[in-house]
Amino acid sequence: MYTLPLPAVHGVLAPAQSVAATADAELVAQLQQGSETAFRTLVERYQNRIYRTVLALLQSPEEAEDVAQEVFVEVYQTIGRFRGEAALSTWLYRLATSRALKHRQRARAQKRFAYFTSLLGFNNQVLHEPPDHAHPQAQLEGQQQVALLLAHIARLPGQQQVAFTLRHEQDLSYEEIAAVLETTVPAVESLLFRARKTLRTHLSLRHD
């Protein structure tokens, strides 16, 4: 998916997670020594998860790919400051969600600026709404309800949307989400409760 230019939890881990954590620790050590091979391994290991997380927040494949690449470039540039206080995957999700939300804020600000300059007559160009990039899931299933759900998820407040996405898109545990958001498990439970309540209100969804 990516062709990046290379520059000159709480609790006891399950056995599979322990192996992954050990592998990640070795990968970080190699990255901090400047290994380009380790960087390629990192991208291959995490690119799909990071891309899908960003896509769920931005709902634009093109923008999601750009932001995901930015995440890996940032990792390469800042890996020397990584001290292992959180899992590598937690750090990556934190970078991904932060960059995605900042990207969305910039896009909205640019849209508002263009709208107001048009109203004030600074240019004669008519503002057109950007194309609505459908999420692949909506395209494949062809269900209007899915597209409607995605639209309402996108309107959730920032941390509610991130918590909901990490839980239902990436299947992270409450503990892992708390680590990404740098908050507590009860706070995550509250965020998810409010997010689901809002979505049920708008879509009459049943609690699963």
Q: pLDDT digits over 194-207, tens only?
A: 988 888 887 764 44
Give the domain extent around 41. 9-128
Q: Are 61 and 19 in the same domain? A: yes
Same domain, 171 and 83: no
Give the amino acid at 135: H
Q: Which of 91, 110, 128 is the last residue of a domain?
A: 128
Residue 19: pLDDT over 60: no
Residues 41 and 108 in one domain: yes
Q: 152 with 193, same domain?
A: yes
> By mean pLDDT, which of 13-17, 30-34, 62-66, 161-165 is the weakest?
13-17
Same domain, 86 and 161: no
**Residue 15 belongs to some domain of the structure:** yes
Please check whether residue 38 lies inside any domain of the structure: yes
Tell me if 3 is assigned to some domain: no
Query: 155: pLDDT confidence band, cut at 50, 70 and 90?
Result: confident
CATH number at residue 21: 1.10.1740.10
Residue 4 covered by a domain: no
Residue that is last in its domain, among 97, 128, 159: 128
Q: What is the pLDDT of residues 120-136, one digit of tens each?
A: 343 434 333 444 444 55
Please check whether residues 121 and 160 belong to one and the same domain.
Answer: no
Q: What percent of the chain has pLDDT over 70?
A: 66
Other beta carbons within 10 angstroms of residue 148's beta carbon come to 13
CATH number of the structural domain spanning residue 142: 1.10.10.10
Start-to-end Cα distance in the chain: 33
More confident residue, 115 or 22: 22
Domains identified in the chain, total number: 2
Among 145, 157, 163, CA closest to 198:
157
Least confident interval from 13-17, 78-82, 150-154, 187-191: 13-17
DSSP code, position 142: -
In a domain, 58, yes or no: yes
Same domain, 38 and 118: yes
199, containing H or E segment: helix 185-203
User: Quick one: 94 and 148 in the same domain?
Assistant: no
Task: Name 137's Cβ contacts closer than 8 Å, sequence gap at least 6.
Answer: 146, 150
| Residues 30, 97 share a domain | yes
User: pLDDT tier at 11 (50, 70, 90 boundaries)?
Assistant: very low
- Angle separating helix axes 158-168 and 144-154, nearest 10 degrees: 130
> Among residues 101, 100, 108, which one has the least CA distance to residue 51?
100
Mean of the pLDDT values across residues 23-33? 90
Amino acid at 16: A
